Amino acid sequence: MKTRHHEHFEADPTPSHEVARRYREALDDDDQEASLALLHYRGGEDEFKLGSEYCRSNDAADRATGADMLAQLGWSDRTFQNESVAILTELLGDSDPYVIHCAAVGLGHRSAPSAIPSLLGLCGHSDAIVRYGVVLGLSGHEDDRAIAALIQLSKDDDHDVRNWAVFGLGSQIEADSLEIRKALREALADPDHEIRGEALVGLAKRGDPCIVPDLLNEWRDREVSILSIEAAEVTHDSRLYPRLKNFTEIFTLDDAPYFAERLAAAIDACKPVA
């Protein structure tokens, strides 16, 4: 049953094969603006067959396009779920790293538990773009095997792999364990403030008893991430209130409306009860 409805896409007469062609050409031009949204929205048999044909091409960029097409057919309705998952899982054995990446990302969109074993086999792939895809393919699964793999990948040498693995552990699952907290705590030592921020959010959501000193330690210098502010909001801990208020005095927030909004929310959440 179709639950999606979008006026703009309903009125767009562009044939799906033309949408796919433009997207495929954009891969050659490294054009980030090209989109398959209209094709995904339609998500019918024609779109599935078209994506399948691309996946069978001898050209790697065609196969990557096909994987991207099958990844989100029908949006949340996930049309042709089993058929698409089978094709995407097969593409995990492709010879081209970018095709494997696209297939893994597609399986993440499809949220396919059946693909977990195949994804696990790629955790140690030599190409970072494959490992990055694996992270996105495994994120969101409350599965011990997937979680263990994300913990491993949260220590990866590649920044993007590490970043998304920590995000996957911290915010994409509800699971809580000593192993998850240990991985998040180790990520607090990462040189990248965004990765540390993702770890702080994950620890805050789990009510970690050390989150307040962790945040105060993170705020020792003037590089304060939005993620750390969001973590503070989650805690509702009044011990953070003085430092949060201090940020309104030392930072110029006129040019950072979103930061100002999140800071105000954190201040309100941590305000001491009279």
Residue 155 DSSP code: T
Type of residue found at 191: P
Please state, in angstroms and rounded to a whole number, the distance separating the CA atoms of residues 112 and 65.
20
Q: What is the pLDDT confidence band of residue 222, given thresholds at 50, 70 and 90?
A: confident
**Gap between the Cα atoms of 262 and 256, Å rounded:** 10
In the predicted model, what is the mean pLDDT of the chain? 96
- What letter does residue 157 receive in the DSSP assignment? S
- d(C-alpha 170, C-alpha 228), whole Å: 13
Q: Does 1.25.10.10 match the CATH number of domain 1-138?
A: yes
- pTM > 0.85: yes or no: yes
* Matching residue, tokens 């999606």: 4
| Tens-place pLDDT, residues 41-54 | 999 999 999 999 99
Domain boundaries, the chain: 1-138
pLDDT at 189 over 90: yes
What mean pLDDT comes out for the span 20-24? Answer: 96
**Tell me: the pLDDT tens digits for 114-147?**
999 999 999 999 999 999 999 999 999 999 999 9
